[in-house]
Structure 1
Amino acid sequence: MMQQYLKELEQEPFDPEEFVERLAWRTVESNREDGNGIFDSVLMHETFLQAIKDLQLLLDRQKKKCEKLETLCQEEEANHWQDISQLQEKNKATVNLFQELDERINYVATKVIHLGDQLESVNTPRSRAVEAQKLMNYFAEFLSPGPLMVDVFTNKAQVIK
């Protein structure tokens, strides 16, 4: 009987007057099926008392289910907030690590630029000295007696440059 009550209670929209009417109708019909055509007020009263007890029992069960679900929901919410807190802490640590890495990269980049400047300051006079050495060799070749053997003097394309 309780399963039937549950089905009726879960119908949308639930109409309490219709529920009571169906309960009374089932009681009267069961009385007629028993071969008794007379209305039995005691049977009706007992049926309603039993229905009230059954509904009260269903209410208690539903309250317990609801309390369990609320407890589970609160536990899940607490776990969720704990997870969020842990993720925020990890995020802070990651941001700090990223800032440290960025500072380190900037430091290394500054050092690389400084070393590049130092190498350039050493390389510029050296390359000038190499170019001066080449020029002196060409001049010495030009002043030497005999035919000119260096490609700079014999190649017409380079002479024009």
Structure 2
Amino acid sequence: MAKCPNCEKCIADLRSENARLRERLSMAREFAVGRLHVVWRADGMWSVGAAGRMVLSRDGRFEYELHPSDRDEAFLARTRYTLDEALDVALALVEREAKECKACCGSGVRDDGRWGGIADTTPCSECNGTGVAETDGAVEKCECGGKGA
């Protein structure tokens, strides 16, 4: 097997590019992960947020982002993550929602335009993904057949 004549140069170029990209990445203060946003807060901590001032707590529930003067240590402990934790939690949630949506509507992707082409995994509003809708107290098969929208 022939060795690259510029092997040491190639490795040095890759290391240089890696350092440049790491430097730029360290400047980022927000990441979009599906419909979620991972946002730098303070002291190297990050939050996982959704539309409308909601942040994900460590117990998996969304709660309102409090005004800075109303945030106590308990709130910060519940809703702040390291960058790696925040990205892992956001990715896992988006992937789980996509699987649940796939079970509902078959595609795993629902784009109603609110997320700029990024999937919104809200199940069918009539049947909530069950295929059975209730209209005026009567149970009937939903028009979507459990496929969503």
Task: Please classify the TM superposition score into its range, dividing by the shorter chain length.
Answer: under 0.3
More strand, by proportion: 2
Q: Of Structure 1 and Structure 2, which has the larger fraction of its residues in helix?
A: 1
